[in-house]
Amino acid sequence: MRRKILAVIVLSIMTTACNGSSGSLIGYVPPSQKHVGNVEVTEWTETGEHGFHFHAPAGDVLVVYFGYTNCPDMCPTTMVNVRNAKNRIGEDLARHVDLAMVTVDPDRDLGEKLKKYLGSFADRTHALVPSSNEQLEKAKEAFQVTSTVTKAADGKVTVSHSGSAYVVNAAGDVVVEWPFGLDAKAMANDLRLLLAGRA
């Protein structure tokens, strides 16, 4: 009997490894759901600026990140992990994943610059450039994000911001949060689970 139980456990571990899924979300699942779908931020596109609301198309997911294009570490690291996670889950699932970035440095991140930056990491992107400080603050409050931009007397700009990425569903709810440092394998696991049945 003991051997049978051990065999079942080993088989279960091997199945999980082969599928690349843990069977449960690895990212942080907030105890109380954050609804962000009613929050609007200006999106820059090649055809002009439009209002954007934080929700994914039906059956898809939207990965949201607050950062800036001159970021030397957290932003590019997270973007690369998201890109690699999409590569891991395969094209059939990856086409159901959108990536949106809200710049916390809108004075320097013009729409075209942000769109080009995101395009180096993904093909389904939303370049979100708040049209006012009030718009940015409302978005930050909804996601419980913090950021500051300070300018020294010599003109040097210093930006700090929290580093989590947020996965939002079609209802406009944050279903899982990815803290900075979560790797592509873990992100891919969560995407597979959230998009189960879409392939």
Amino acid letter, 26: I
Is the CB of residue 140 less than 8 Å from the CB of residue 166?
A: no
What is the tens place of the pLDDT at every residue in 182-191?
999 999 999 9
* 3-state secondary structure (DSSP) of residue 176: strand
Rounded CA-CA distance 157/19 in Å is 45
113: number of Cβ within 10 Å: 16
Please check the confidence at residue 7 and state whether its pLDDT lies above 80.
no
38-66 mean pLDDT: 96
pTM of the model: 0.87
The token pair that represents 64 in the structure block: 């949201």
- The yes/no answer on whether domain 27-194 falls in CATH 3.40.30.10 is yes
Domain ranges of the chain: 27-194
